[in-house]
Amino acid sequence: MKTLLTSDQIHEEVSRLGKQISLEYENRPLTILGVLTGSIVFLADLIRNIDIPLRVGLIQASSYRGTSTKAGTLNISADLLPEIKGRDVILIDDIFDTGNTLHGIMELVQEKNPNSLKSAVLLWKEDRQEIDLTPDYHSFKIPNEFVVGYGLDYNDDYRHLPYIATLEEAEL
């Protein structure tokens, strides 16, 4: 395993993003939606760095299963989605890879009539993008390597790491 982003780099960037969102959404009804399960660490750290009132909601989406490193069918569950009609919404995800997950979730959320809808991702793999969609906020552009840590997993392991690392082929 090789460290790609240190915990200090991540902390600094999440703090910057929280301040930016605080300024842009001051005096607006903000809801932060986290995509389970990968974004949970990013979501927790980010909302602690946003110093305006907000609601938090969760939406579940998955396209990777077990030891697979290739996306499969996208499954979305909005059972935990709070009322967002008339609210400004920022959809938080851990990684923007092909763009299919973010695009699918944004379509579903848009049907709920938010006042506005933006996206924020921690990591962006530009070389893998298949959908013509640009995250409104992104923290790090990374190479096309399989990454773990800071909420991202491989076969439900490594989420606990406080940094982002790449797995070597032998580790997959």
The separation between the first and the last C-alpha atoms of the chain, rounded to the nearest angstrom, is 10
- Strand-by-strand arrangement of the 88-96 sheet: 75-77, 54-62, 30-36, 88-96, 116-124, 137-141
Helical (H) or strand (E) element with 2: strand 2-5
d(CA 32, CA 125): 22
Q: What length does the chain have? A: 172
User: Which of helix, strand or coil describes residue 144?
Assistant: coil
97 in catalytic set: yes
Q: Compute CA 73 distance to the chain's CA centroid, rounded to the nearest angstrom.
A: 18
CA gyration radius, the chain: 15
Nearest to 140 by CA among 163, 108, 106: 163
Give the active site residue among 8, 97, 132, 153. Answer: 97
Type of residue found at 72: G
d(CA 118, CA 130): 19
Type of residue found at 97: D
Active site amino acids: 97
